[in-house]
Amino acid sequence: MRHSYLAAALQMTSGPDVEQNLNQLTDLVELACRRGAILIGLPENFAFMGDEQQKATQAPYIATAAERCLRTLAQRFQVTILAGGMPVPADNHRVYNRALVMTPEGEIAVAYDKVHLFDVNLPDGNTYQESRTVVAGAQLPPVYHQPDLGAIGLSICYDVRFPELYRHLAKVGAEILFIPAAFTAYTGKDHWQVLLQARAIENTCYVLAPAQVGWHYPRRQTHGHAMIVDPWGVVLADAGDQPGLAMAEINPERLAQVRRQMPSLQHRVF
């Protein structure tokens, strides 16, 4: 039987300065490790949050610098890092929005390119066209199986609105759903927590949801409230509205108990 362990969901205010972002990341990872976390999730856009065209142009540098930083931190602290979305060069001056798992050995175990792109006109007047600079991934997200941590299913931000993606992850064995985000302040206040709880409840999984928070550049504000949610839908930790951490215990016995009491995954008809 696996033992319980501590996980951390980081909350950052990333901006256009890559070095500054990676310094902020290093401080938060160090804090999480000092508090005993061995699984650490980073938000979407942790390495760069700025002008979209600038992101596409700088992608080779951002990806290289971010990967080097992740490898160093994972090896230094001997932890598993779930990196929640960074630009990786694709084609025609566009990028993939890629999440990955960095092992304590400093190796990339699995990666996932975001499939659902955020092309939305919000009532607050803001328009988002992620597809202008991002190429959608073409593969379902993977589940990373690690004996001490459990089975972790990857996703990124806007994916949280598509329950079929998480049903797939649960069907192939996920016990923890990784949902890193840079959720807009406007949608976040109404939808963020309820969507995370729904994904946890309907799939009887833990949810690890790191987040961006605050103002990143003019007209770009994110909601914050990085969370860890248990398989019953209980919010175990909430990072609030400032940079920091949400930390909680991932307990395999609790997961097994909820799945015994509410065996809905076994009762699917369709």
Give the up-direction half-sphere exposure of residue 46: CA atoms within 13 A in the CB hemisphere.
36
What confidence score (pLDDT) does residue 13 get?
Answer: 98
What are the catalytic residues?
44, 114, 157
What confidence score (pLDDT) does residue 204 get?
Answer: 98
| pLDDT lower than 50: segments of the chain | none
Phi, psi (degrees; rounded to nearest 5) at 205: -130, 155
Give the up-direction half-sphere exposure of residue 197: CA atoms within 13 A in the CB hemisphere.
13
| pTM, two decimal places | 0.97
Q: Most distant CA pair in the chain: distance in Å?
A: 51
The residue to which tokens 């070095």 are assigned:
19
Could you count the other beta carbons within 10 Å of the beta carbon of residue 155?
28
For residue range 199-241, list pLDDT tens digits in order.
999 999 999 999 999 999 888 899 999 999 999 999 999 999 9
Could you count the other beta carbons within 10 Å of the beta carbon of residue 144?
23
Contacts of 51 by beta carbon, 8 Å cutoff, 6+ apart: 16, 217
What confidence score (pLDDT) does residue 1 get?
Answer: 58
CATH number of domain containing 144: 3.60.110.10
Give the up-direction half-sphere exposure of residue 97: CA atoms within 13 A in the CB hemisphere.
30
What confidence score (pLDDT) does residue 163 get?
Answer: 98
For residue range 79-94, list pLDDT tens digits in order.
999 999 999 999 888 9
Total domain count, the chain? 1
Tell me, what DSSP letter sits at residue 239?
A: -
